[in-house]
Structure 1
Amino acid sequence: MLRLPEGVRIWVATAPCDMRKQADGLSALVESSLGQQPRSGHLFVFFSKRMDFVRILFWDTNGYCTVSKRLETGRFRVPAPVEGQAAVHLEARQLAELLALVESSGAARRKPVH
């Protein structure tokens, strides 16, 4: 289970994200698309179009941190957004479940990169 400081909120972007973006690009998305302050200490979660890659952005005292996870097979099961919502709010337990539970039906194994 994820343990986050009290008051930290988790926002999951509903639109797919270009996973080439790093901290600066993601922080710009947080402001422009989600209407949030990236240095707020909250967690901002972005998924790729294929739902097999996730990147989490947060501000930690004096700098941005990013955490990434790419699946070899399967896809993340992301909550369905309400129409017109740029982000969905989750609790820490829900984020932990989201990162652990993966749909594997119809997933093809990636070819190794040499």
Structure 2
Amino acid sequence: MCKEPTSGEVFVFLNRNRNLIKLLHWEHGGFVIYYKKLERGTFVPPVPSSGPQSIRWPELVMMIEGIQVEKFRQKPRYELAEN
């Protein structure tokens, strides 16, 4: 994936049936895995907006909570320029 695992990013893994999600995150001292299995239904991954393999935090939270948005309009927000 060409990413640094200790960068603080959250890595998201879905199984083939999309009823199981694992989130891998580095915190001070080691990795943390968050795991959720649905008894009914599936996780619907959002269409990535900021890159081919990345999603924003609000999209991840909505996916985990089972919220699927059909139409939306993102209002512009201030962002710091990257170095």
The Cα shift of 1:57 comes to 0.3
Partner residue, 1:68: 35
- Where does 1:1-114 land on structure 2 (aligned, <5 Å)? 34-80=1-47, 88-101=53-66
Structure 1: gaps of 5 or more residues: 1-33, 104-114
Q: CA deviation at 1:51?
A: 0.3
| Contact 2:46/2:55 (8 A) holds in 1 | no
Please list every run of 5 or more consecutive structure 2 residues that lacks an aligned counterpart in the other structure: 69-83
Matched-pair identity in %? 26
Q: In the TM superposition, what is the alpha-carbon distance from 1:79 to its structure 2 partner? A: 2.5
User: What is the root-mean-square deviation in Å for CA atoms of aligned residues?
Assistant: 2.0
Q: Going by fraction, where is helix more abundant, 1 or 2?
A: 1
Structure 1 runs, 4 residues or longer, greater than 2 Å off:
none
Superposition TM-score, scaled by structure 1 size: 0.52
Q: 2:65, 2:6 → 1: CA distance?
A: 27
- Could you list the per-position Cα deviations for residues 5-60 of structure 1 after superposition, in whole angstroms to 9, with x for gaps in the alignment? xxxxxxxxxxxxxxxxxxxxxxxxxxxxx111111111000000000000000110
Q: Which has the higher contact order (CA 8 A, sep 6+)?
A: 1
Counterpart-to-counterpart distance in 1, 2:6 and 2:61: 22
- Tell me how far 1:102 sits from its aligned partner: 6.4
Partner of 2:45, secondary structure, is: coil
User: Secondary structure of the equivalent of 2:54?
Assistant: strand
